Structure 1
Amino acid sequence: MPTITHPRDFTAERAWGALQIAQLDGVTVRLHWTDAPYHWHVNDGSEVFTVLDGRVEMRWREAGQERCTLLAPGDIFFAETGCEHVAHPQGPARILVVERAGSV
């Protein structure tokens, strides 16, 4: 039976609350709602981060320097294993994250 999710209808009780959409061969697909920054972290696998609603300033460290970009709906950020990064939403945002199950 298919599942249909309407991201704009999803709101979590806390920042970075998630709705699990699917788990595929050790990979999770989650819809996150947030209105507050995450924390600097490094995933133990690659991560695909897609903004569905809102705007998110994504910061990452590369060669010892902090870089950033503003992501709008439809924009995708791909973090390879070992990429230190943090997301700072600019108001409420909904984000689809695809990453290894159990990843930080």
Structure 2
Amino acid sequence: MEKIDTNAVDGPVAWRGPNFPGFGGAAVKLRWIDTPYRWHRNDDREFFLVLSGCVEMRTRKNGRTSSLLLEAGQAAIIEAGEEHVACPRGAARVLVVET
């Protein structure tokens, strides 16, 4: 068994943090963020959980942008091929699971 302190994942470089292999091929990533990532698509689904802070998750389809505001304890599921970008409002810690 391994204890992980998510509060220890901190800056100064956004979108870096530990990866946890061995979950049936899923990429499990713990990240500290304070800047948007970039618009992108994944080949498979993504589970995006906000552990602390607040993140606006934006999606774009047919030229139209929509968004969800995610606070600590809230998550979003992004479907395969769905164009999206995570935009933190200040510093945030997130758990990302990609299949």
Question: Normalising by structure 1, what TM-score?
Answer: 0.88
Would you say 1:20 and 2:13 are equivalent positions? no
Which structure 2 residue ranges, 5 or more long, are not aligned? none
Q: Distance in 1 between matches of 2:42 and 2:22?
A: 17
CA contact (8 A) 2:51 2:93 kept: yes
In 1, Cα distance between the equivalents of 2:54 and 2:26? 25
Q: Who is 1:48 aligned against?
A: 47
How many Å separate the matches in 2 of 1:13 and 1:94? 13
- Deviation, 1:23, is 2.9
Contact 2:9-2:17 within 8 A present in 1 as well: no
Cα RMSD (Å): 1.3
Q: Is the 8 A contact 2:57 2:68 kept in 1?
A: yes
Aligned partner of 1:72 in structure 2 is 71
1:85 is matched by which residue type in structure 2?
Answer: H
Q: List structure 1 segments (4+ residues) > 2 angstroms apart after TM superposition.
A: none
Partner Cα distance (2:18, 2:5) in 1: 11
Q: How far is 1:63 from its partner?
A: 4.1
- How many Å separate the matches in 1 of 2:22 and 2:12? 22
The share of aligned pairs that are identical, in percent, is: 41
Q: How many residues align?
A: 99
Deviation digits for residues 20-79 of structure 1 (CA, Å, limit 9, x no counterpart) = 134312111110101100000001111000000000011001343100111000111101
Distance 2:42 2:24 in 1: 18
The letter for the 2-side match of 1:45 is: D
Task: Structure 1 unaligned segments of length 5 or more: list them.
Answer: none
Please, what TM-score do these two structures have when normalized by structure 2? 0.92
SS in 2 for 1:30: strand
